[in-house]
């Protein structure tokens, strides 16, 4: 399976700007697509970026501030109008379900697909679901209201066979599966041969962590440690650290500190206050603490991989909606 | 007072397209702004068109299908974040209030301005409110759920004095107000002089009527008769009249028939199905019945006036978001 891909659909905080929509991202793992947050206008961004919502079977909502979920009901409505039949998993605070139920009821039309709702827990980390491609967990973030971050980790990969040793020990095909699963092989003579000799360690699973919105909080380090890419909100510059504290947000510098302590491979920052036209200073501030940092701007695609720090992220083919600004 | 101005913010029906947002319009009368419908992304369109939401004190929602109101909660949230203090009037179906209340409660932040909610009546026409600038009424539309149209009429204008006759009859300034209000003048000799001689008839008040969403329905004619500009939905071409009927929508031809019978000055059509890339055939179809028709496309501004049928509407200064397509 190729490396998971992360698409940024929105990078603004509470109010949108001419160029920046509120929070939303899509993580593609194999054929699965997972959306994380869904601010107003997300369905239009999907159209602009050419990302189809077929295969989008998981939508995670961090909390019930509008810039993280006001676009969800519109996306569900459009999915239904376009004939969706397959189940949709929605992961979010319990009352999100009440809001969606009320809006669907008053609209007079229930979706023709099933929605499986998974309530997040703001008190402790929880495994939400596990598929053949990934494992999705939530963990508590400290914000003004019930809020969680999300961890998406590729499913553990199989060991690969050491063909030389397999031939050397004349291991039959029937034994391959158990060796890959980590069992020793016992040959006709009753000799036990270690799976460690007969196979290579699997490539480590990549993981993506999403932290928005949150106050600067070292308590999250144990949950997010060693992830491949960390997205951490950076609503303000450090000069406005007081405002960040008061509003339960973080600064670019604080995002860099969290990334350093969590020993992640790469940091992405986003959720920028609409007061900043030029985001370069936020990037430089985070980089001064944690060099392998990038701006999570709409239209960018990041590979969840241990990339070169200097590698530029791919820019998707965008409409003029926002790449001319 | 100059003629009211109508700004089109969205022209799509149920699902947005790359270029077309769901329904929303703003009518400017004097210093008042009235929004009619508020589909998802409307607050972004306001930014793109450079229309400030200061002075936007009235928002009318026709019905609770998402393409007509999903953008309202985001607009309210942004108004609050930007420090709005003055009262906001929301006019719409009763359960709209429940939806807004629930979303505001779960967001953990009540607006710092008051919201006065006016419930519409789907059974009969009603005067909703009257200000010094305009009169706003609703009337029933036949759609799948509770739905109303809106009529906005300039406040009745004052009579203007006939200066020659005023001088001729040596009418004192103290009597001007009562003459303008339609009272006769009695001079010192006890002679009664008609206000019709002393003043001119006021200019007729202009009116704007909004009809979306609706099945083709001649019953609305008495409500909308003789209005200056009629906006009528035209979701489909006549070739799909069966689909229009089934879904309680109208065709471009049917919009033209309604405009003809209502003897309006100009017809605007909108709420176009996403199946139509090129809207010219819908315009031609409506024009074949009612020649003074225009497409209500986002970014256009119309004067509510008895304009020349050939006059082109003004195109606002748009971002590249949608004028490059």
Half-sphere exposure of A115 toward its Cβ, with a 13 Å CA cutoff?
Answer: 24
Distances (CA, A) of B243 to B18, B238, B249, B251, B253: 23, 10, 8, 9, 14
Neighbours of B133 (CB within 10 A): 16
φ/ψ bin of B255: left (φ > 0), alpha (ψ from -120 to 50), beta (otherwise):
alpha
Chain B residues with beta carbon closer than 8 angstroms to that of A145: 106-108
Q: Can you give the C-alpha Rg of chain A in angstroms?
A: 22
DSSP secondary structure letter of residue B240: G
* DSSP, res A22: B
The whole-angstrom separation of Cα A103 and Cα B145 is 13
Closest among B284, B283, B258, B277 to B325, alpha carbons compared: B277
Give the HSE-up count for residue A284: Cα atoms under 13 Å, Cβ half-sphere. Answer: 4
Going residue by residue through chain B, which has 325 residues, state the pLDDT in tens, using 9 for 90 and above. 688 999 999 999 999 998 899 999 999 998 899 999 999 999 999 999 999 988 899 999 999 999 999 999 999 999 999 999 999 999 999 999 999 999 999 999 999 999 999 999 999 999 999 998 999 999 999 999 999 999 999 998 889 999 999 999 999 999 999 999 899 999 999 999 999 999 999 888 999 999 999 999 999 999 999 899 999 999 999 999 999 999 999 999 999 999 999 999 999 999 999 999 999 999 999 999 999 999 999 999 999 988 766 666 777 755 434 443 3
Name the residue facing A41 among B40, B81, B82 (closest C-beta). Answer: B40
For the segment A261-298, what is each residue's pLDDT rounded down to a tens digit?
999 999 999 999 999 999 999 999 999 999 999 999 99
Phi, psi at residue A26, to the nearest 5°?
Answer: -130, 130
Where are the domains positioned within chain A?
A: 5-157+203-323, 161-198
Nearest CB among B41, B64, B325 relative to A106 is that of: B64
**pLDDT for the residue B319:** 47
d(CA A141, CA A21): 22
Residue B249: other Cβ atoms inside 10 A: 26
A–B interface: beta-carbon pairs under 8 A? 119
* Nearest neighbour of B70 by CB, restricted to A17, A73, A108: A73
The domain B5-157+203-323 belongs to what CATH superfamily? Ribonuclease Z/Hydroxyacylglutathione hydrolase-like (3.60.15.10)
Q: Which stretches of chain B sit within 8 Å of chain A by CB?
A: 14-18, 21, 40-41, 43-44, 47-48, 64-67, 70-71, 73-74, 77-78, 81-82, 93, 95-96, 98-99, 102-103, 106-109, 144-145, 319-322, 324-325
pLDDT tens series, chain A, 325 aa: 688 999 999 999 999 998 899 999 999 998 899 999 999 999 999 999 999 988 899 999 999 999 999 999 999 999 999 999 999 999 999 999 999 999 999 999 999 999 999 999 999 999 999 998 999 999 999 999 999 999 999 998 889 999 999 999 999 999 999 999 899 999 999 999 999 999 999 888 999 999 999 999 999 999 999 999 999 999 999 999 999 999 999 999 999 999 999 999 999 999 999 999 999 999 999 999 999 999 999 999 999 988 766 666 777 755 433 443 3
Q: Which residues contact A154 (CB under 8 A, 6 or more apart)?
A: A1, A4, A29, A133, A134, A205, A206, A207
Residues of A in contact with B320 (CB under 8 A): 320-321, 324-325
Determine contact, residues A8/A298, Cβ cutoff 8 Å.
yes
> Hey, are the CB atoms on B14 and A81 less than 8 Å from each other?
yes
- Scored b (16 or more CB within 10 A) or e, A226-244 reads ebbbbbbbbbbbbebbeeb
Q: How many residues does chain A have?
A: 325
User: In whole angstroms, what is the distance from residue B103 CA to residue B266 CA?
Assistant: 39
Q: How far is CA B251 from the centre of its chain?
A: 20
What is the per-residue DSSP string for B171-215?
A: --GGGHHHHHTT--EE-TTS-EE-HHHHEEPPPPPPEEEEE-S--
Q: How far apart are the first and last CA of chain B?
A: 36
**pLDDT tens digits along A237-252:** 999 999 999 999 999 9
What residues contact B168, with CB distance under 8 A and at least 6 apart? none
For residue B222, give how far its alpha carbon lies from the nearest alpha carbon of chain A (Å): 28
Check CB contact under 8 Å for B40 and A95: no
Given 3-state DSSP classes, what are the helix, strand and coil percentages for chain B, each rounded to the nearest 5? 30, 30, 45
Q: Residue A303 CA to chain centroid, in angstroms?
A: 11
DSSP labels, A264-279: -SEEEEE-B-TT-S--
C-alpha distance across the termini of chain A, in Å: 35
0.80 surpassed by pTM: yes
Give strand pairing partners of B270.
B233
pLDDT of A323: 40
Identify the burial level of A306 via C-beta atoms within 10 angstroms of its C-beta, where 0-12 means exposed, 13-18 middle and 19 or more buried: middle
Report the distance separating Cα A193 and Cα A175, nearest Å: 12
> How far, in Å, CA of B11 to CA of B147, rounded?
18
Cβ contact, residue pair B18, A319, below 8 Å: yes
Chain B interface mutation, best of A53, A82, A106, highest count of B Cβ atoms under 10 Å: A106
Q: Does A213 sit behind a cis peptide bond, omega within 30 degrees of 0 on the bond before it?
A: yes
Q: Is the Cβ pair A70, B73 closer than 8 Å? A: yes
Residues of A in CB contact (< 8 Å) with B are 14-18, 21, 40-41, 43-44, 47-48, 64-67, 70-71, 73-74, 77-78, 81-82, 93, 95-96, 98-99, 102-103, 106-109, 144-145, 319-322, 324-325
Residues A232, A233, A234: CA angle, nearest 5 degrees: 115
Q: What chain A residue is nearest to B82 in terms of C-alpha separation?
A: A15
């Amino acid at each position: 399976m190729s490396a998971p891909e992360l698409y940024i659909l929105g990078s603004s905080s509470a109010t949108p700007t001419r160029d920046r929509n509120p929070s939303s991202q899509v993580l593609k793992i194999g054929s699965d697509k997972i959306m994380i947050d869904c601010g107003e206008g997300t369905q239009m961004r999907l159209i602009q970026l050419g990302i189809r919502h077929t295969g989008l079977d998981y939508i995670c909502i961090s909390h019930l501030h509008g810039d993280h979920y006001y676009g969800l009901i519109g996306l569900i409505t459009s999915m239904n109008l376009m004939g969706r039949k397959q189940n949709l998993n929605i992961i979010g605070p319990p009352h999100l379900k009440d809001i969606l139920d009320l809006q669907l009821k008053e609209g007079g039309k229930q979706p023709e697909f099933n929605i499986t709702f998974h309530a997040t827990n703001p008190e402790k980390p929880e495994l939400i679901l596990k598929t053949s491609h990934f494992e999705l967990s939530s963990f508590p973030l400290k914000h003004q209201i019930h809020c969680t971050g999300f961890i998406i980790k590729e499913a553990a990969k199989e060991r690969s066979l050491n063909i030389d040793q397999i031939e050397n020990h004349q291991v039959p095909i029937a034994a391959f599966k158990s060796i890959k699963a980590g069992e020793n092989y016992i040959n006709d003579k009753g000799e036990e041969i270690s799976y460690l000799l007969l196979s290579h360690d699997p490539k480590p699973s990549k993981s993506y962590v999403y932290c928005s919105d949150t106050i600067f909080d070292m308590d999250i380090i144990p949950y997010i440690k060693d992830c491949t890419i960390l997205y951490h909100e950076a609503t303000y510059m450090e000069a406005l650290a007081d405002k960040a504290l008061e509003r339960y947000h973080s600064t670019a510098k604080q995002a860099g500190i969290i990334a350093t302590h969590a020993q992640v491979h790469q940091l992405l920052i986003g959720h920028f206050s609409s007061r900043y036209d030029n985001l370069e200073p936020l990037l430089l501030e985070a980089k001064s603490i944690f060099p392998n940092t990038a701006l999570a701007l709409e239209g960018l695609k990041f590979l969840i991989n241990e990339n070169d720090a200097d590698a530029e992220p791919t820019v998707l083919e965008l409409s003029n909606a926002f790449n001319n600004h």
